[in-house]
Amino acid sequence: MTIHKEGYKSIAISVIIFGLINILSFYLISYAAPILCWLIFLATLGLLIFIVSFFRIPSRQLTILDNSIVAPADGKVVVVEEVMADEYFPDKRIQVSIFMSPLNVHVNRNPVSGEVVYSKYHKGKYLVAWHPKSSTENERFTTVYNHNGKEILVKQIAGALAKRISNYLQVGQTVKQTGEMGFIRFGSRVDLFLPLHANVNVKIGEMTKGGVTVVATW
């Protein structure tokens, strides 16, 4: 396991705060209230461990398959349905949505290899990530990939706790399947919009692993 670059600053700040709180606790209350001092230490240690784990990149055997669309994120499948596309595409698509809790790995990965043909940031609200309107009203970053003439759209969507979406791709860039697309901080959602002829392999309630789980084939 390694730590993602997005976490360096947050972890450094967290370590400093952890140290300051516990130094003050030791000198000010350890003699009068040792149990409280230990409770503060354990609580702040737990929070520090959570912050570090949030930015983790676990070691995985990633899935590289030309005819497959792999999960761009860890999380739970909350939507699998046919919808009218609201951006870029003028027709119906299959929407597959993956909800990422704060406990999930938050690295986002390219679902396919190909060329980035569209990339756009949208300002928006911070509705809870599982809200039906979060896909169209929340802050989000949209990316479209062209894989051998076939296109899919991916939305990185901020949730109620997510206040920063990072996207590393640019229009015209050629990317590899499972390479890093971006990162979303603290609870979020990723939507895939697939062509109607795609064969979806996941169901609502199923857990996915980013870069590993095959969401669909074409």
Q: Are residues 26 and 95 in the same domain?
A: no
Q: Are residues 24 and 89 in the same domain?
A: no
pLDDT recorded at residue 127: 62
Q: Are residues 52 and 122 in the same domain?
A: no
Q: Which residues are catalytically annotated?
A: 188
Strand residues in the chain grouped as ranges (E): 2-3, 56-57, 68-70, 75-84, 92-100, 107-109, 114-122, 140-147, 150-158, 165-167, 174-175, 180-184, 188-194, 199-200, 207-208, 214-217
Q: Which domain holds residue 151?
A: 68-217
* CATH label of the domain that carries residue 161: 2.70.70
Q: Are residues 73 and 37 in the same domain?
A: no
pLDDT in tens, the chain (218 residues): 788 888 788 899 999 999 999 999 988 888 888 899 999 999 999 999 988 888 888 888 999 999 999 999 999 999 999 999 989 999 999 999 999 888 888 899 999 999 999 999 988 665 655 555 556 667 889 999 999 999 999 999 886 665 678 899 999 999 999 999 998 877 688 999 999 999 999 999 999 999 999 999 98
Measure the CA–CA gap between 11 and 78, rounded to whole angstroms.
Answer: 30
Instruction: Provide CB contacts within 8 A for 90, sequence distance 6+.
Output: none
Nearest to 123 by CA among 160, 83, 165: 165
Q: Are residues 86 and 170 in the same domain?
A: yes
pTM score: 0.84
